[in-house]
């Protein structure tokens, strides 16, 4: 009734190539982003902004990064945590040693360093594929974390080895560190998430994205039609690691306030991989849905039990959380193996016919 394509005519190439070709889609996305900017910071309390939305958005960026590599280019990676750590540690080095650098530049530089490291660890992907590639990225995971803990240069020779993310401001408003208000940190992270999502959405539907998908679907055929595997695979590694690096830097600077290697361990890599799988491989929206689902469901379950005031021991709540969470993931993968993004697509298809389905 409301959502339909009938009667929408494209009269120019530009409108035919637009990111959202259905006006309702475009209005919806613009509305969500506008609400995220204009409404949420005023209605959300500190807990919601600082501990729910902020980490979910940061993990969405990491999931976007992995989705580019795994979902679009077909290269399995278990090194997400390490690339996040690379972004965090290098951003810390830039922020603490070149103190006049504006904080967005610091975060982007952290991401660029992660991209360079990602390219280096992506080189084996030219020769090895599938699970074997996953093992080499696993090597990146362990090697990089070991490196950051082993060499005191990365933490400015801090005796404790866990440096604090320095407070930085934009336009006189603190956006990193503990004193920054959750609303300011949230808006800062939201801006990164929106810009990076927009860039990703345009990358994957352009020439680069199409070469990634060609390599993913059949690399020999892609090579025969003139796509260079070297450039394609390494660019996917670079862009993916850049996203992960930015996410890692934001995680350290805006969320946990410390640059700590154990925040980026192998379990973080798996968590982001689950986000991508549950959210939907090869989908921008799926990265966001997956990140929110995987990160918030355990917290929501934990909170729900507490809210009802049931007299259950703390550890039992956590075990219930583990069980329900695991069961739900299995359930979703059986019912909808293409992820939450596919569910959303089905909802849209149903909406086209609503309220008069055949």
Binding positions for another protein, rule: CB under 8 A: 45-48, 50-52, 55, 96, 142, 146, 149, 156, 158-164, 166-167, 177-179, 255-258, 260, 262-263, 266, 293, 296-297, 299-304, 306-307, 313-315, 317-319, 322, 328, 331, 335-336, 343
In the complex, least distance from residue 314 CB atom to another protein, rounded to whole angstroms: 4
Q: What secondary structure, in 3-state letters, does 151-180 show?
A: CHHHHCCCCCCCCECCCCEECCEECCCCCC
In the complex, least distance from residue 190 CB atom to another protein, rounded to whole angstroms: 18
Strand partners for 174: 169
C-beta of 96 vs 191, nearer to another protein: 96
Nearest to 180 by CA among 191, 193, 166: 166
Nearest to 162 by CA among 172, 147, 175, 152: 152
Residue 349 is given by DSSP the state H
Task: Please work out, in degrees rounded to the nearest 5, the angle formed at the alpha carbon of residue 76 by the alpha carbons of 72 and 80.
Answer: 95
C-beta of 214 vs 278, nearer to another protein: 278
3-state helix, strand, coil in the chain (%, to 5): 75, 0, 25
In the complex, least distance from residue 204 CB atom to another protein, rounded to whole angstroms: 26
Nearest to 196 by CA among 250, 125, 232: 250
C-beta of 39 vs 256, nearer to another protein: 256
Task: Take residue 125 and report the two structure tokens written for it.
Answer: 């992907």
Are 103 and 169 spatial neighbours (Cβ–Cβ below 8 Å)? Answer: yes
C-beta of 191 vs 258, nearer to another protein: 258
In the complex, least distance from residue 30 CB atom to another protein, rounded to whole angstroms: 23
Cα radius of gyration (the chain): 21
In the complex, least distance from residue 303 CB atom to another protein, rounded to whole angstroms: 4
Distances (CA, A) of 217 to 67, 200, 230: 15, 19, 16
In the complex, least distance from residue 18 CB atom to another protein, rounded to whole angstroms: 30
C-beta of 130 vs 152, nearer to another protein: 152
C-beta of 84 vs 213, nearer to another protein: 84
In the complex, least distance from residue 149 CB atom to another protein, rounded to whole angstroms: 7
C-beta of 233 vs 321, nearer to another protein: 321
User: What SS3 class is residue 45?
Assistant: coil
């Amino acid at each position: 009734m409301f959502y339909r394509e009938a009667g929408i005519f494209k009269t120019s190439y530009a409108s035919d190539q637009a990111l959202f070709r259905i006006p309702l889609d475009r209005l919806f996305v613009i509305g969500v982003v506008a609400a995220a900017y204009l409404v949420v910071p005023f209605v959300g309390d500190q807990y919601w902004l600082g501990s729910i939305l902020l980490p979910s958005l940061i993990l969405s960026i990491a999931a976007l990064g992995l989705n580019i590599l795994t979902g679009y280019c077909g290269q399995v990676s278990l090194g997400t945590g390490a690339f996040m750590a690379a972004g965090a540690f290098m951003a810390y080095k830039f922020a603490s040693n070149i103190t006049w650098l504006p904080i967005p530049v610091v975060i982007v530089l952290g991401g660029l360093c992660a991209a360079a490291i990602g390219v280096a660890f992506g080189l084996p992907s030219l020769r090895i594929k599938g699970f074997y590639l996953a093992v080499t990225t696993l090597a990146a995971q362990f090697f990089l974390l070991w490196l950051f803990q082993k060499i005191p240069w990365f933490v400015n020779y801090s005796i404790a080895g866990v440096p604090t993310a320095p407070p930085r401001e934009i336009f006189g408003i603190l956006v990193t560190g503990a004193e920054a208000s959750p609303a300011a940190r949230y808006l800062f992270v939201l801006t990164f998430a929106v810009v990076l999502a927009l860039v990703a959405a345009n990358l994957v539907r352009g020439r680069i994205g199409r070469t990634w998908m060609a390599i993913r679907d059949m690399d020999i055929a892609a090579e025969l039609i003139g796509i260079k595997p070297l450039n394609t695979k390494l660019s996917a590694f670079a862009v993916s690691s850049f996203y992960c690096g930015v996410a890692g830097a934001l995680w350290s600077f805006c969320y946990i306030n410390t640059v700590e290697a154990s925040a980026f361990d192998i379990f973080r890599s798996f968590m982001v991989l689950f986000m991508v799988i549950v959210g939907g491989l090869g989908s921008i929206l799926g990265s966001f849905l997956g990140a929110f689902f995987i990160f918030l469901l355990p917290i929501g379950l934990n909170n729900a039990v507490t809210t009802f005031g049931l007299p259950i021991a703390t550890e039992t709540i956590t075990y219930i959380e583990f069980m329900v969470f695991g069961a739900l993931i299995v359930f979703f993968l059986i019912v909808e193996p293409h992820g939450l993004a596919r569910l959303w697509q089905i909802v849209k298809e149903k909406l086209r016919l609503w309220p008069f389905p055949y």
